[in-house]
Amino acid sequence: MADVDTTRWLDPAEDRAWRGWLAMNELVRSQIARDLLADSGLSDPDYMVLVHLSEADGRRIRLTDLAARLNWSKSRLSHQLDRMQARGLVRREECPSDARGTFAVLAAGGLAEIERAAPKHVASVRRHLIDVLDTDQLGQLTAIAERVVGHLDAPSPCSDSLAAPGKAGMATPR
């Protein structure tokens, strides 16, 4: 635990930035998740799984890799996949080269759902974040996000979309 006498407390500008980011993150994510559920019946976790599967080669990913991409525990992913599998959105397949490995695979129903949901989802992302910023602010936000994610050495769920102009990443299936 940090010693109170040596703690570098946030100055007013730093505190304002921190609290602003907290509020922005919560409000934007919550509103986009509400829109997604109202527009498509998909939860944010449903959509995140479907996006990763729709963008993967062969529309399949090993469960361990999917859990890492989502920054989820194996247990959380397993429960989410159980719910989605019951609705015909995904299926599991054993890995032929590794008896311990299992793939999550995008089912036809899941592909149809993400293709139906993506246009309204990207419209929500635009309405609540992208179109609120001007070009310079969007560039600054991108640079800030990439710097913080790089500092944490975590794979960004949208790093491919940031590198590929015109690709909407988490908003659009491929």
Q: Where are the domains of the chain?
A: 26-171
pTM of the prediction?
0.82
Contacts of 45 (CB under 8 A, 6+ apart): 80
Q: How far is CA 127 from CA 32, 95, 131, 162, in A?
A: 9, 41, 6, 19
Following CA atoms 116, 118, 87, 91 in sequence, which dihedral angle do they give, to the nearest 10 degrees?
Answer: 110
Place of tokens 């599967």: 53
pLDDT value, residue 5 = 79
Residues of the chain with confidence (pLDDT) below 70: 1-4, 154-174
Calpha distance 117→121 (Å, rounded) = 6
Write down the architecture of domain 26-171 according to CATH.
Orthogonal Bundle (1.10)
